[in-house]
Structure 1
């Protein structure tokens, strides 16, 4: 008997490891291509606050519009771990999401009594297009933690109403999660009624349970009032819920969220990726077919609940708990000025978990050995649903570039690649010029963006200047980096080398370190003022006989006497046009240790164009 128990435990342990490994592999596979290489907007501001504020100011911001100290603490830890390795944010976000998926898997397994059903719920969670924000933004950590805590509350209350002893012991933990989630995202304060309804279902007589959750809610409100001066939740885009709340808007957004749960993109392209109307016919057919699978599952489930009177009351309680949880989550996401897909992720996950529960009720585990056709049929419907929804979710994931913030993230990823990605620490000594500013980069972004890559967080020595065209700058010097915007591809392009060669073409006898041969030729583009300046440095002994004959565009000649170690000569040429300069020296530097061309090295020239 002991051997059998040990074998059973070992098999269960292996099942958990297999599930975790498969979920991990799938998470990285399905999120391939998502990257954070550069920070901008809210993420950049968060990074800036982390560097400029003390631990107390960052984690416990007083006087702000929001007080999310649990999220702030988690964010502080994440930022500390990442440091200047910006690319680490996505893999960390994926790992956190895998932990949540494993929680969903365990919950789904408990609800259904089957490893396969639990695993499918975990896969569906990771597959969902609603995970875009959690993976692709630093602030996605907030959504992840809030979802995790919300599912944790649902799990505790489910066990509370379905188990006698173990369930009651989870109430303090559930209350603790409620307190924590209110300071991850205040939207989830709305879950308070879930506790009261669960207590009523269980006919809870202990006053301590009622008092504990009530005191927790009151403590949340008191803390919010003393830290931000209000208990009204802040809305989206700088609004407040109290100012924007409209019952018609709430109903409209609630209906759209229900449609989202059934696979219908009920929002515009910039919020959903691609609207239902713009989606191809095959996607809509698959969505409707998957909804049909859910409908059949639901009808079979209702038939079982009605037929089997023994556990009907308990099942009604569980049904009520799940439906109320989903309704509260939908309601809390419907009271602001818009609905973003990421807000539906919690209710969507709860819906998949409820499907797992329906399977557990319709096909109890104890009956599986006696009648294999029933579990294969019912669980097969859920598997078929997963197979139908897989290409749909994959298709919509390919439309992320339509999301309102995605293009900006691509742009700043490109900016990071073209700068720090290519130059590393050498970047911090350069002057960056960006041709055009159609992306409307703010002063804060231009002053802060490059600091994120510097271990010292200063990027000291760097400047960022926006120019109208390449004629706004002179010749390209070694400490310059010139970029141009590429709006078609939401990118930046490093055109430094191109401009360097265009503005200063070394035909022969001229070298990047400034040395000229006895005979040299170069084509130089003038700036707006049309002035080309040569500053000659001769390190040898001056006899007074040295001179350089400069020929401009093959006709104009000028003799420059080298009567000092430094001699400057200025030439007026056609503005913004390329002029050809030929230089003939009647001397050479006899101490030179090398000869680079056919002629000997003569003089060093620093050439500038205004």
Structure 2
């Protein structure tokens, strides 16, 4: 008997390990191609605060519009771990999401009594297009942690409600999670009625649970008032809920979230990726078929619940718990000025968990051995639903480019690739010229962006300047980079070499280290001032007979005597045009150990143009 129990436990652990590994592999596969290489806007501001503020100021921002110290602590730890490795954010976000998916798998497995249903729930969670923000933004960690805590509250209250002798730690843990989630995202303060509903359905006569959760809610409000001077939650885009709330809009947004749960994108493309009406016919058909499967599941489930009189009351209590949880989450996401798909994620996850519960009720585990027809038919509805959602979710994931912030993230990923990705630490100290500014890069971003790649967080000497064209600058020096915008691909292009060669074309006798042969020729483009400056360095012995004949455009000719180790000269040329310049020296550097061209090395020239 003990051997059988040991074998059973070992098999169970193997199942858990297999599920975790498969979920991990699927998470990295489905999110392939999502990258964070450069930070901007809220993510960049968060990074800036982390570096400029003390631990206390960052984690406990008194006087701010939001007080999310639990999330701030997690963000502080993440930023400390990542350091200057910006590309680490996405893998960390994926790993956090895998942990949540494993929680969903375990919860769904408990609800359904079946490994395959639990695993399908975890896969559906990872597959969802609603995970876009959690994976692709640094702030996505906040949404992930809030969702995780909210689902944890639902799990604890479900067990509290359904078990005759629930564990003593279930309620304290759920209350702790509630306190935490309120300081991850204040939206989830709305879950308070869920506790009261569970107490009422459980007929909780003890005062301690009621007082505990009420006291925690009061403590949350007191802390918020002390920290930010208000208990009213902030809204989206710098608004406040109290100022922008509208009953009509809230009802409209609530219905749109219900549609989202049933696979129908009810929002505009910049928030959903692609509206349902704009989706291909096959996608709309697949969504409708998937919803029909859910409808069949629900009808069968309700039929079973109504027939089972002994368990009916308990079943309705659980139904009420799930529906209230979903309704509260929908309500909290409907009171601001818009609905973003990422806010529906927690409601969607709860809906999948409820579907797993329906599987567990409609085909109890104990009946599986006696009658395989019923569980096979019913559970196959949920599995078929998941199969239908695979191409649907994959299709909508391909429309992330339509999201309002996606193009900006692509641009700053490209900026990171074209600068730090190519030059690494050599980038720091360079002057970066960007032709045009149609992307509207802010001064803050220009000052801060490159600091994220520097372990010292300074990128000392690195400057960003926007120019109208390459005519706005003269010849390129080694500490200059030139980029151009590529709006068609939401990218930047490093055109430094092209501009350098265009502005200084070496025909013969001119070398990148500055040396000129006795006979040399180059084409030089002046800047908008129309001036070319020459500084000649001669390291040899000066006799007073050395000179260089400089001819510009075949007409203007000047003899430059080399009567010192450093001699300068300036020529006026047509502005923003290319001039042909030839050099003829009557001397050479006799200590040179090599001859690169047809004539000997003569002098080192530092040439600039304005």
Using the size of structure 1 for normalisation, the TM-score is 0.99
Compute the displacement of 1:195 (Å): 0.1
Tell me, what secondary structure is at the counterpart of 2:169?
Answer: helix
Compute the displacement of 1:529 (Å): 1.2
Name the residue aligned to 2:588. Answer: 588
1:245 partnered with 2:245: yes
**Distance across 1 between alignment mates of 2:197 and 2:432:** 60
Name the residue aligned to 2:568. Answer: 568
Tell me if the contact between 1:156 and 1:167 (Cα under 8 Å) persists in the aligned partners: no
Compute the displacement of 1:168 (Å): 4.9
Tell me if the contact between 1:179 and 1:217 (Cα under 8 Å) persists in the aligned partners: yes
Name the residue aligned to 2:161. Answer: 161
Tell me if the contact between 1:537 and 1:604 (Cα under 8 Å) persists in the aligned partners: yes
Name the residue aligned to 1:600. Answer: 600
Name the residue aligned to 1:407. Answer: 407
Tell me, what secondary structure is at the counterpart of 1:520?
Answer: strand
Tell me, what secondary structure is at the counterpart of 2:78?
Answer: helix
Equivalent runs, 1:376-525 vs 2, <5 Å = 376-525=376-525
Deviations 1:300-323 (A, max 9, x none): 001100111110000000000000
Name the residue aligned to 2:528. Answer: 528
Tell me if the contact between 1:105 and 1:119 (Cα under 8 Å) persists in the aligned partners: yes
**Distance across 1 between alignment mates of 2:110 and 2:320:** 18
**Distance across 1 between alignment mates of 2:285 and 2:260:** 15
Name the residue aligned to 1:318. Answer: 318
Show structure 1 runs of 5+ residues with no match.
none
Name the residue aligned to 1:195. Answer: 195
Equivalent runs, 1:27-106 vs 2, <5 Å = 27-106=27-106
Tell me, what secondary structure is at the counterpart of 2:437?
Answer: coil
Name the residue aligned to 2:121. Answer: 121
Tell me if the contact between 1:96 and 1:144 (Cα under 8 Å) persists in the aligned partners: yes
Show structure 2 runs of 5+ residues with no match.
none
Name the residue aligned to 2:349. Answer: 349
**Distance across 1 between alignment mates of 2:89 and 2:406:** 16
Tell me if the contact between 1:552 and 1:580 (Cα under 8 Å) persists in the aligned partners: yes
Tell me, what secondary structure is at the counterpart of 2:310?
Answer: coil
Tell me, what secondary structure is at the counterpart of 2:591?
Answer: coil
Tell me, what secondary structure is at the counterpart of 1:295?
Answer: helix
**Distance across 1 between alignment mates of 2:351 and 2:396:** 20
Compute the displacement of 1:429 (Å): 2.0
Tell me, what secondary structure is at the counterpart of 1:438?
Answer: coil
Compute the displacement of 1:204 (Å): 0.2
Root-mean-square deviation (CA, aligned residues, Å) is: 0.7
Compute the displacement of 1:559 (Å): 1.5
Tell me, what secondary structure is at the counterpart of 1:506?
Answer: strand
Name the residue aligned to 1:22. Answer: 22
**Distance across 2 between alignment mates of 1:51 and 1:571:** 48
Tell me, what secondary structure is at the counterpart of 2:506?
Answer: strand
Give the stretch that moved more between structures: 568-577 or 440-449: 568-577
Aligned length: 610
Compute the displacement of 1:146 (Å): 0.2
Equivalent runs, 1:231-270 vs 2, <5 Å = 231-270=231-270
Name the residue aligned to 1:145. Answer: 145
**Distance across 2 between alignment mates of 1:577 and 1:11:** 78
Give the stretch that moved more between structures: 247-256 or 523-532: 523-532
Compute the displacement of 1:557 (Å): 2.2
Compute the displacement of 1:539 (Å): 1.0
Tell me, what secondary structure is at the counterpart of 1:455?
Answer: coil
Compute the displacement of 1:556 (Å): 2.9
1:301 partnered with 2:301: yes
Misfit runs of 4+, over 3 Å: none
**Distance across 2 between alignment mates of 1:167 and 1:316:** 22
Name the residue aligned to 1:278. Answer: 278
Deviations 1:107-140 (A, max 9, x none): 0000000000000000000000000000000000
**Distance across 2 between alignment mates of 1:507 and 1:245:** 69
Compute the displacement of 1:167 (Å): 4.4
**Distance across 1 between alignment mates of 2:429 and 2:459:** 8
Tell me if the contact between 1:326 and 1:350 (Cα under 8 Å) persists in the aligned partners: yes
Tell me, what secondary structure is at the counterpart of 2:543?
Answer: coil
**Distance across 2 between alignment mates of 1:214 and 1:499:** 67
Tell me if the contact between 1:157 and 1:167 (Cα under 8 Å) persists in the aligned partners: no
